[in-house]
Amino acid sequence: MVRLGFIIGFIALLGALLSGLAAYRVHDQELALDRIALARAIDVHASLVQDRSTERELLARVASGLFRAPSVLKPNMLEPLRSAIYAFKTDFVVAAWVARLRPSELAAARAAIAAAGFPNPEIRDTSDKPIDPASLTQPIDVLMDLEPRSDETKALPGRSYDDDPVRNAMLARARVEKRSVASDPVPLLRDNGPIGVIVAAPVIPEGATEPVGFITFSYELASLMLTNDDLSLFSVALKDPRKEGSELVANDQGVVSTRMTTPDGPAPSATRNVSFGGRDWQLGYYAKTNSARRAEQTAIIVAAIGFAITAMVCGLFGYVAYNNLRLSREIQVRIGFERRLTAVIDELNHRVKNILAVIQSIVTRTLRHGSDIDVARELLIGRIHAMSNVVSLLSESQWQGVKLKGLFEARAIPHADRIAVSGPDIAVSARAAQSLSLLFFELASHSDEGLSLVGKHPHITANWTVTGEEPETVFRFRWEEFNTSEATRRPDSDFGLILLDRVAPEALGGTAKRYFTDVSYVYELTAPMETVVDMTERDRTEKLSQPVQPVR
């Protein structure tokens, strides 16, 4: 059983180790795969944003290259470019022509805007307040034409961007650097309009050094940089170039808002830079799911499956092993029972042969030629009764011995109630019990004459002592019949004399003597205690009587 427990424990330990190792490997693999997938998705998104930005910047450059500024201000100056700018399909919000006008050109500009059909041709600032040409000393940038035209966009031409900090800074940089330039994020069309960026490309005629105006395209920031698939692994945020520690993010409806970042807040999983309008834009990517937690959950599931399989294997192995062990024990019990049964049968045969031999001897000696048939019959019945009685006593004790005093209490001993018995209540062996039972019967059966003289008063004493130290202790038995003489005592039979003088002493490995005193008849028996008790026989009998135990 201990070995089975050790094997099951070893299997459980091995299964736990393998489950833990599998969970550890799955955790690392899931984490690595998630990181690889996230990094790849981020790279793809950044590449798409870069491609979109490049296309839109290219549109501004192409439009500025195709634009031919007339020598005089004309209405609908974007008309020749309409087909070209719509062919790019770059989903711009507004495409506009911003002319750089000297104070003397403001009246002509007003006429051109009115001729183009715009409702408010006045040259004004961004708050729609008219500008006095006399107050100007330098050229100003005025919106002259735009596409597409709608009720909302038609009100924009005629505005000057010199007082707009974002647009003015963009146009000034484009004028100086003479290339397309993007603005900071700014509301488009109106103050509460969608957040977007504007890219301006300067228009420089041949032979000139200064631009005469700018072609501008405005784009919503959400669709340009922040849009993403709903099932994507991450959300996108744009670092706000206008304010340190803030980001621009778009919701599911594409509405862009600003949020502040803190040092102890979540950091982006990755950052990427894209170039647009002559500047770098930093995109931050935040994973929508916690890769580490997801890997841990997967590892826990794998470990749980491994532990469950280990438990099933251990349970199955334990069940099979236990059944095999139980079957093996049953076989061992069966074999042990058969061996014990064989030993019991052999022992029984041996003891039956001994009893039959004793009975045969009793019958032969009792019924010898010339004996009185009535006396012989009485002695034969008494001796066989004594043998039967001691066998009954031994059977009750499972042949492990009989208390010596119990032999005197038996009905097989004549006049047992008139015998004074004294001595330690020792248990004698089966062999000794048989000899002593016949011995007591012979002694008591020949004392009838003396008993008749005293009536009910005890006149026979039987006592025994155990003397000496282990293992040399000696058993001493003394039988004494008072008021008996050689003349009054019944003579012993031949069988009785043989039993008293030779059979009983030899069976116990001792010596005996009998004699008459002036007032009594005495029989003494001395034998080693080890033969009287015979522990070897008792141990053997006890082993035969014990239930068979399986070998562990």
Q: Determine the pLDDT at residue 540.
A: 61
Summarised one tens digit per residue, pLDDT across range 286-324 is 998 888 888 888 889 988 998 899 888 888 878 887 888
Range scoring the smallest mean pLDDT among 287-296, 352-361, 395-404, 446-455: 446-455
Q: Determine the pLDDT at residue 546.
A: 58
Summarised one tens digit per residue, pLDDT across range 43-97 is 999 999 999 999 999 988 888 888 877 766 788 888 888 887 777 777 899 999 9
Report pTM.
0.57
Asked whether the beta carbons of 15 and 309 are under 8 A apart, the reply is: yes
**Hey, which of 359-373, 436-450, 458-472, 509-523 has the most confident mean pLDDT?**
509-523
- Listed in sequence order, the residues at least 6 apart from 16 whose beta carbon sits closer than 8 Å to its beta carbon are 306, 307, 310
Q: Is the pLDDT of residue 463 over 70?
A: yes
Mean of the pLDDT values across residues 179-190?
Answer: 93
CB count in 10 Å sphere of residue 399: 24
Bridge partners of residue 474, in order along the sequence: 467, 528
Q: Determine the pLDDT at residue 456.
A: 46
Q: Determine the pLDDT at residue 539.
A: 59
Do the strands 195-203 and 181-182 form a parallel or antiparallel pair, or are they unpaired?
Answer: antiparallel
Three-state DSSP state, 100: strand
pLDDT interval class at 275 (50, 70, 90): very high
Residue 40 identity (one-letter amino acid): R
Cα dihedral 474, 479, 485, 491 in deg (nearest 10):
-100
Residue that the structure tokens 């058993």 belong to:
475
Within its chain, how far is the Cα of 376 from the centroid? Answer: 86
pLDDT interval class at 491 (50, 70, 90): confident
Domains of the chain: 1-289 (3.30.450.350), 343-545 (3.30.565)
Mean of the pLDDT values across residues 509-535?
Answer: 89
Summarised one tens digit per residue, pLDDT across range 89-139 is 778 999 999 999 999 999 999 999 999 999 999 999 988 899 998 888 899
Q: How far apart are CA 226 and CA 237, in angstroms?
A: 7
Q: How far apart are CA 238 and CA 281, in angstroms?
A: 7
Residue 16 is encoded by which pair of tokens? 């736990």
Q: Determine the pLDDT at residue 140.
A: 94
Q: Determine the pLDDT at residue 548.
A: 53
Asked whether the beta carbons of 483 and 407 are under 8 A apart, the reply is: no
Three-state DSSP state, 283: strand
User: 63: closest CA among 49, 43, 79, 75?
Assistant: 79
Average pLDDT, the chain: 84
Asked whether the beta carbons of 198 and 185 are under 8 A apart, the reply is: no
Q: Determine the pLDDT at residue 454.
A: 46
Asked whether the beta carbons of 307 and 19 are under 8 A apart, the reply is: yes
Bridge partners of residue 421, in order along the sequence: 462
Q: How far apart are CA 172 and CA 181, in angstroms?
A: 9
Three-state DSSP state, 239: strand
Residue that the structure tokens 């980001």 belong to:
247
Q: Determine the pLDDT at residue 370.
A: 52
User: 149: closest CA among 209, 76, 63?
Assistant: 76
532 phi and psi angles, rounded to 5 deg: -70, -45
User: What percent of the chain is modeled with pLDDT above 90?
Assistant: 34
What is the number of residues in the chain? 552
Q: How far apart are CA 368 and CA 493, in angstroms?
A: 11
Q: Determine the pLDDT at residue 40.
A: 92
Residue that the structure tokens 């038996």 belong to:
410
Asked whether the beta carbons of 40 and 346 are under 8 A apart, the reply is: no
